[in-house]
Amino acid sequence: MMEGEMDKLINELKVKIIDTLNLTSVEPAGIDAEALLVGGELGLDSIDVLELVMMIEKDYGLRIDNKELGIRVFASLKALAEYIHQNRPETQP
């Protein structure tokens, strides 16, 4: 994937995360893609992860249904974007 496409996916995910988790006081630009996604500055916990699992299955067709995979995928926004890119059923050109 091109650098630009990755940025696009990351930005798309930022908006979805803010919307899904009702992070009303967070701006997309305020999310660091490399930072710890869960237990970090955003204040996300296991319930938020489950909420994101639903969103990712619904919007990207990917099921994350075990803890080990979840820990890896939700390590950071970048890790999440990479996982989606590598595994989504209809990878974009």
Tell me which residues touch another protein (CB under 8 A).
Answer: 21-25, 43, 46-48, 50-51, 53-54, 57-58, 65
CB of 48 vs another protein, minimal distance in Å:
8
Cα 78 from chain centroid (whole Å) = 8
User: Residue 34's Cα: distance from chain center in Å?
Assistant: 11
Q: CA 71 to CA 32: how far, in whole Å? A: 18
Q: Smaller CB distance to another protein: residue 23 or 31?
A: 23
Closest distance to another protein from the beta carbon of 8 (Å): 24
For residues 1 and 62, which CB has a smaller minimum distance to another protein in the complex? 62
- Distance CA(57)–CA(7), nearest Å, equals 21
